[in-house]
Amino acid sequence: MQANGQWTIKDMPNMNGKRVIITGGSGGLGLETAYGFAEKGAEIILAVRNLEKGHQAAGGLLKKFPQASVEVMRLDLADLSSIEGFAARVIAKYASLHVLVNNAGVMIPPFGKTKDGFELQFGSNHLGHFALTGRLLPLLLKTPQSRVVTLSSIAAKSGYIYFNNLDGRIGYSAMKFYGQSKLANLLFARELQKHLSAIGASTISVACHPGVSNTNLISRGSGKQAGRAAAFLWGLMSQSAAMGALPTLYAATAPGLYGGEYIGPTGKGGRKGYPGFDLSVDHKMNEETMAKLWRVSEKLTGVTYDFHVRREEKEDWSKLGIRM
């Protein structure tokens, strides 16, 4: 199950000249992931909802790595118009995108909705990243050997897609809907790879999870620090955010990945440890469910992926564009 022994940032390839977008890069796993990329020379775009926190995070990165290239851009994954605007700015400014890390997420908040009326966890964690990836697809396909890395969770093991209740109108359980959103992340990553393989793209899609890592997700989406008791117990059960970021960095950079893999900690139950291949959710990879989730996601977000493009046509942006 172990991918490459005790793989660490030291094993990452040089990232000079590579451009990386990290959603939710102002703290937790996203920021730790950014530190790993910065150490290896990548050009980093922190896609964050709170610009003040984003600039604070960028300041910390530049303090440790003065030569790093770090840009902060606003992105609210709970707002489809924000996603559209963000993607448009990126495509207008940059000619390539080597890695998109779909990292941001909310965990077990009280019931709430996104700006567009989706249940908050499914809407932010899955639909937001689905729309973002689709809108950045032209840039990703234009960049040879690019990667889309989507973070799931060990909660995906018990997750289920409630197609008859995606908005929570007939009942809501914070933990069940979190599991649903994380399973959706995993199914999306695998279905995306299926489409990429079908057109012979060099872009690949890889899923990963951080195990049980010590981040502020247990603030229940409030953005506030968790209570002392909860934070203490979480600290006992979890590994550091730096260790939790390793599966993401492995998925984003390790040679020899073909797409469709699921990377996570190799310790007992996938909770802690160095990154390796996680096969524990293969039974969740139902082709019918994956295809249905894709169709529903396109309908809800209004973002349709156009995969009827061969790589030799990649310079024709009109053919690579997203139909609306």
Catalytic residues: 178
Using the Cα atoms of residue 222, residue 227, residue 233 and residue 238 in order, give the sign of their dihedral. positive
Relative to beta strand 262-265, strand 147-151 is unpaired
For residue 115, what are its two tokens? 């700006």
192 by Cβ neighbours in 10 Å (0-12 / 13-18 / 19+) ranks as buried
In the chain, the DSSP E strands lie at 19-23, 43-48, 69-74, 99-102, 147-151, 204-208, 262-265, 275-277
Encode 142-178: b = buried (16+ Cβ within 10 Å), e = exposed. bbeebbbbbbbbbbbbebebbeeebebeeebebebbb
Query: Helix, strand or coil for residue 268?
Result: helix
